[in-house]
Amino acid sequence: MKKNTTSNLLLENRFTSHQQTHIILSIGAPLLIIIFKLSQSTPSFYVHLQLFGFSLLYIVLFCLAFTKRGLININNNLYRGLYFRKQLILKKKIDITNKTKIAVLKFKRRQKMAWFSAARPDLDTIYNHFDITLLNDKHTVKEKLISLEKEKFVDLSIEFLEQNFCLVYEQYSPDFS
């Protein structure tokens, strides 16, 4: 009988706090208005069904705003996972065939904060972003595995990938010869 081995690494939030606020308020506000209007209307089976449907949709939207990313090893297969409160809700298998190396690419990114615009119309935040990338032996084929904002999670991810999948961390340096 084959032993089922599973290990996972829960990383950081999928959305920033600014994005979470926009998801909950901008997208969720119309749903809340519909829920409020339906609760004020004359009760009937159809109204209760709509109220249940829109309430469920808002709950799903709220949960989506607070999801986290992670990496999963299930029987030596690599998956990228989406978690809500440490519970796996979605996973996608990552093909690591012909990929023996990993590298971290560091980028500077900016995020506009459009709704903070009273005094500074171009208010934005600049931050580092780290893309963990799967590579072939010559570094000529690359595939982004996951994007992270915090360097401590990058280190944990590299360690997880090296221990569970025999991937080797290297500086990205393509060899086109």
pTM beyond cutoff 0.85? no
pLDDT tens, residue by residue, 146-172: 999 889 999 999 999 999 998 999 998
Beta bridge partners of 127: 109
**Please, which residues have CB within 8 angstroms of residue 62's CB and are 6 or more apart in sequence?**
24, 28
Closest to 58 measured CA to CA, from 86, 18, 26, 81 = 26
Provide the pLDDT for residue 4. Answer: 58
Q: Given the structure tokens 């904060």, which residue do they identify?
A: 113
The model's pLDDT over 68-97, given as tens digits with 9 standing for 90+, comes to 999 999 988 999 999 999 899 999 999 998
pLDDT at residue 22 in the model: 85
Express each pLDDT in 91-137 by its tens digit: 999 999 889 999 999 988 777 766 555 565 666 677 788 999 999 98
pLDDT at 17 over 90: no
Q: Which residues make Cβ contacts (< 8 Å) with residue 172, sequence separation at least 6?
A: 103, 104, 105, 133, 135, 139, 142
Backbone angles phi, psi at 64, to 5 degrees: -60, -40
**Which burial class, exposed, middle or buried, applies to 161 when counting CB atoms under 10 A from its CB (0-12, 13-18, 19+)?**
buried
